[in-house]
Amino acid sequence: MTKRPTSFQVSLIDLRHNVEVLRGLAPGSLFCAVLKADAYGHGAVKVAQTVLEAGADWLAVALTDEAVELRSAGITAPLLILSEPALEEMSTVAQLKEVRPAVYTKAGIEAFAAVAPGAPVHLKIETGLHRVGVPVGEAVVAAEHLQSCGLFLEGAFTHFAMAAEPESPLTQRQHQRFDTALEDLTTAGHRPQMVHAANSAATMAFSQTHYSMVRCGIALYGADPSPELRPRMAELGLRPIGSLVSVVAHRHRIEPGETVSYGQRWQATETTELATLPLGYADGLMRSWGDAGQVLINGRRYPIRGAITMDQTMVEVDQTVKVGDQVVLLGRQGNETITASDMGDELGTISYELLAKLGRRLPIKYLDE
């Protein structure tokens, strides 16, 4: 197999550093590394191995298939599936050692109990995100039902909707609702030994929500949860761990009036030097990044011209740029840096979406192994 000149380069040293920093924010809590969406595009298996070496206690994923991938790779650490698996997946989950599913429906509880009697589960409690979970007022009923079905209530958890915006009052309301649910459970004789609510943002900004475990995702990869928390990320010294790197594959010149790429979205007003890069939206780039995006070549910024295509991207350059020169689309080169947050700000989206879109077609190269 040939080697593509394009890769997503991941610094394992920076990943270990981020684990240490985030763990240090909650020294009395277990640390759970969230690896859903192929570790936010960074490669779940290698990231899992690295964060466990760096001190992570638990791992979390979103899908049963993601749990299967980690177990098939020999990852044995305790693993939480953050959403209740489909009923037909429960038998697969039961066969995976040390994997805990989230549960929050009567049908889900009964389906898992039928294939995994006595197994530990984590009860997801809905406090304000309104995505999935059992309502606060029904937490005791759910706990009693799973206990009567023969399951073990090992954990209870919730998820914050607005922790990335520290001024929002919703986080405090969700915290209070979750505490109410926990008090109700305790009064009824249910005492889950693992209680967790803090995502990356809450781990950094709301120490009162750390409970017995924190779950860090986006900050683990050095991307900020929101512009409001960007200064906190810098203060903590968290580092982006991924760089999207390619090369100049082709050079050519166009004359005034010529247009670039599909849809004629950019037109040259003068003689223009162009470089073509061998990657496109099939590799995870947002097509609309072509309207305002830049790349780094030889430590300088150059603008993308025209719509990004499936396999190629065009950039306006100067005479100093040669075929074979390294190009950084995400990451640092010289004194210049382009972050996922920079892209998100320009495109009206978030770093989570941009990192998660990095396709499996894109080779991952791990540095510092």
**Catalytic center residues:** 36, 262
Contacts of 328 (CB under 8 A, 6+ apart): 243, 244, 245, 295, 296, 297, 338
317: which strand partners? Answer: 273
Q: Are strands 313-317 and 213-216 parallel, antiparallel or unpaired?
A: unpaired
d(CA 333, CA 368): 18
Q: Which of 52, 2, 6, 1 is nearest to 364 (CA)?
A: 6
The helix/strand/coil state of 277 is strand
CA 185, 191, 194, 198 torsion-angle sign: positive
Q: Which of 281, 280, 313 is nearest to 297 (CA)?
A: 313
Please check whether residue 222 is in contact with residue 14, taking contact to mean a CB–CB distance below 8 angstroms.
yes
Q: Which of 224, 216, 246 is nearest to 6 (CA)?
A: 246
